[in-house]
Amino acid sequence: MIFKLRRPLFLTLLVASVAPAAWAAPQTPTAQITLTPGVSIWLNAAEAVPVQRAARDLARDFQKVLGTTSPITGDRASLNGRTFIEIIGPGAGDEAKRDAQTAIAGREAHGVFVKRDQNGTRVVLQGADMRGTLYAIYTFSEKFLGVKPLWFWASQPPLPQKSIPLNINTDLRFASPSVHWRTWFPNDTDLFNPWKKRSHDNYDALYEAMLRLKLNCMEGSSSDEGSLKAPYPLERSVEMARDRGLAFVGHHVYPLGADYNLWDKFWRQIEHREPPALSIKNVEELKTFWRWHIDLARRNHLEEIWLIGFRGNGDKPFWTSFQDAPKSDRERAAVIDQMMKTQVELVKTATGEAAPLMRTTLYNEMSDFYAAGLLRPPAEPNLIWTFVAARRDHFPAPDAQNAEPPTNQPIGYYLNFQFTSTGAHLAQAEGLWKMERNFRFINGIAPRPLEFSVVNMGNIREFVLEGSANAAMMWDMQDYNSDKFLLEFCRTYFGDDNAPAVAALYRDFYDSYWQQRRPTLPGFERQYIFQDLRMNRVMQRLMEYLKKPGASTEEIFSDGSLDANNRLFNIVPADNGVASKLDALIKGTGQSIKKLTGVVARADALMARLPTGDRTFFNDNLRMQARFLLATNTTTHNLALAVRDAQGTPERSAHLNAAHTAALQMRTALAEAEHGSFENWYGSDHLFDVKARIEDISKLLPNK
C-alpha cells in the first residue's frame, strides 16, 4: 500500500508485507518489536566521517528520548540474537550488506526497514550512497524518535518515551530527489555569525538542520585569512559542512573560491612578493590566484561545484575593482566571457576531468548582459547555468524569461528569501507560494529537469519555514504543493488540532505586506512587496527629508547610486490610486497596519491555546514577526505623515511622537524572541539597526 507521510513532507512511504522466515513463529500484520533504553547502534568503522557523525547524533537522540545512552559498536558478534539498529552505507562491509535491499538504489536513495532472522532483529537504516545513509539515519530519528527537522531552531526537543515500538513490516523507501543539488546560502549574517561562535552546538545546528531537511550543498566562501597559513585549512564553516557530508559551491563573489579581499595578503604570504594591481591585463597573476584556491579545495578534500564568473570585490561589477576595465557593455561582457573560459580551462587542468562539475551565476550585470544578448556562459556539458531572481523584487528576471539555453544544458536557480539593503531580513516576506511559482517557472524553461537550487537564507532563523518548504519542493517537485506543505508543517510543529488555524494565520501574515506595484507577470501574485529593509531604508530617507526638506518629496524615493529604473522602492502611485509616492506609502502602510493589527490579535489568542511546548516557535516565527512588522509599518507611516504635515505644526509633532513610540515597539517585539540558546540574538543587529532608528527619530522629537 502506498500513502503519503506527514513527515518528512511530501515523500512517499511504501509499507511492504515481509514474509516471515521459516524459523519464526507466524506473525500478524500488527506484530511489533520494541526498542528499549540502551539499544545498540551497529556501524562499521569503515563508513565515512559524515556517517560516523550522524550516528553520534542518533545516539544522542536516543539518549534524549529514552534517557539512556545507546552505544555505537562495530562488533556484530556481541549483538547476535539481539534487537539493534543497523546502519548500512557504502562502507558497511559484506556481512551487513546481506541485509540490504537492492531496490534502494540511485543517488541519495535511502530506506528504513526491519530485518528479522535467526541472528536477531535489525532495524536497518540503509543508504544507496553516503548522503543517502545520512538521510536514512535522520529519517529514522524523525519518524520513530520524534526528533523534528528544526528541533533546535524551533526550541522543540523530542519528548521522552519509555520505549520505541515498531511494526515488524515497517519498510520506508525514498527514491532519488527531483533536483540534484539543493543548497542553502547563509548571507548578510550580522546575527548568525556572532551567535554561532558562542558554542560548537550553535555552529553545528545549521548543518544538522540542512541534513534533516535532506539538503546537500552549502554556498559561501571557502577561504579566509587563516587559509593563507600552514596547514592551509578551509574557512571553518566550510570544513564543518564538509565533515558533515555537505558539498560546497562558491558564491558569485568568489570565483573558484577566491576572495579578492585576500589579494594583497596572498601575494605577500604565499608568493612572497608585493601584490600586483588588479588588472584585466594581468591574466597570469589572476590565474595564479585562482589556481591556488582550486588547489586549496583539492588538498582539503572538498567536494566542490566550481564557481566560474568574473565580478569585482564587494559583490560589485568587475569594473569597480579593475581600473583598466573597458567602458562599454559589449566590451565588458567580452571580458567576462574570456575570464570564464580561462577559469574553465584551469579547472579542467587541475582536476584532470574533461567535464568537471561547474556552475556560473547570472547575477546583476551578468543577468543584464545575458538579457541584452551580449553574454552567454560557455556551453560546457557540466556547467550549470544558474539564473537569479530579479533584484529587490524576487521573480524570474528578463534573462530567465527569454533564456533559450542550449539543448540539455543543466540549469539552476538562485532565489532570495533575504536580500541586502531592501529585502526581507528580520521578518520572512517572500512566502512559500512565490517560491513555488519561481521554481516552477524556471523548471519550465530548462531543457531538462532543474539541476541546482539555492536560496539565500540570511541569518537562517527568520527563514526556516521558507527554507523547509524549498527543501521539500526540491526533493519532490512533482508532488509539492505550498498549501499542503504549510498545513503539514503546522501539524508537525503545532499539532493536528491547531494546524489549520496556524496555517491560515501564516497566509494572512504574508498577505499583510504592502504590494506597492501591481504584478507585471501573469499569475505571479505578490510579485512586488515592501519588505522590512525597504521600510528601514525609506524611514531613513524620510528622516533626512525632515531634517532638510527638498523641493519635492519624490526625491525621497529616488534610486540614487543604489539602483536604476525605479527599482529601489518600485512604488507606482497609479497602482495605489494616488498621485504621489508619498501618498502611496501612507496608504500602503496604513493598509498593512490594519491587516497586521488583526493578525497580531489572532496570534495572541491562538498562542494561549497552544500546548506550552509549541508556543516558543509560534512566537518566534510568526507572532513576534507580525508584531515587529506592525511596529515597523506604524513607524514608517507616521514618519511619512510627518513629512506631509507642515513644519512646526501640532500634527507633525504628534506623528513624530507616534513614530518614536512605534520604533520602541520594534525593539520590544524582537526581544521576545531572545531566550535560551538564542539569548541576545539581536544584539549584533546592524543591517536594520533598530537601535539607530530609535535614536534617529528621538533627535527629531519636538522637545529635542
Average pLDDT over every residue of 477-506 = 98
In eight-state DSSP terms, residue 416 is: E
d(CA 599, CA 669): 14
Same domain, 11 and 118: yes
Same domain, 228 and 144: no
Do 241 and 208 meet the contact criterion of CB atoms below 8 Å apart? no
pLDDT at residue number 25: 35
CA distance 133 to 126: 6
Residue 282 located in a structural domain: yes
Q: For residue 58, tell me if it sits in a domain.
A: yes
156 and 261 in a single domain? The answer is no
C-alpha cell of residue 667 = 525593539
Taking only the tens place, the pLDDT of each residue in 365-391 is: 999 999 999 999 999 999 999 999 999
The residue out of 458, 480, 502 marking a domain boundary is: 480
Spatial separation of the C-alpha atoms in residues 704 and 698, rounded to whole Å:
7
Q: What is the mean pLDDT of residues 183-201?
A: 97
Mean pLDDT in the chain?
94
Is residue 20 located within the same domain as residue 64? yes
Distance, CA of 704 to CA of 699 (rounded, Å): 6
Asked if residue 94 and residue 40 are part of one domain, the reply reads yes
Identify whether residues 547 and 402 lie together within a single domain. no
Pair 97, 187 in one domain: no
Measured on CA atoms in the order 445, 450, 456, 461, is the torsion positive or negative?
A: positive
Distance, CA of 184 to CA of 219 (rounded, Å): 6
**How many helices (H) and strands (E) would you count in the chain?**
21, 18
495 found inside a domain = no
Q: What are the E-state strand segments in 429-469?
A: 452-458
**Whether this model's pTM surpasses 0.75:** yes
Is residue 490 in some structural domain?
A: no
pLDDT above 90 as % of the chain: 92
702 pLDDT band (50/70/90 cuts)? confident
Q: What is the pLDDT of residue 648?
A: 85
Among 455, 480, 505, residue at a domain's last position: 480
User: What's the CA gap between 543 and 548, in Å, rounded?
Assistant: 9
**Residues 139, 246 within the same domain:** no
510 inside domain: no
Adjacent-strand bridge partners of 111: 126, 173
Q: Looking at the structure, do residues 36 and 20 belong to the same domain, yes or no? A: yes
Mean pLDDT of 13-40: 59
CB atoms within 10 A of CB 668: 14
Domain end residue (candidates: 150, 174, 198): 174
- How far is the CA of 492 from the CAs of 65, 207, 433, 495, 517, in angstroms? 17, 20, 19, 6, 35
Domain range spanning residue 453?
181-480
Domain CATH code at residue 122: 3.30.379.10
Specify whether 143 is located in the same domain as 197: no
| Total domains in the fold of the chain | 3
Residue 492 maps to a domain = no
Cβ atoms 319, 312 nearer than 8 A: yes
The CATH number covering residue 427 comes to 3.20.20.520
Query: Is residue 89 in some structural domain?
Result: yes
Q: What is the pLDDT of residues 612-664, one digit of tens each?
A: 999 999 999 999 999 999 999 999 999 999 999 988 899 999 999 999 999 99
Verify that 197 and 142 share a domain, yes or no: no
Residue 205 lies in a domain: yes
Q: Are residues 114 and 199 in the same domain?
A: no
What is the mean pLDDT of the segment spanning 341-368? Answer: 98
Signed CA dihedral, 572, 577, 580, 583: sign only: negative
Residues 99 and 126: their CA atoms lie apart, in Å, by 9
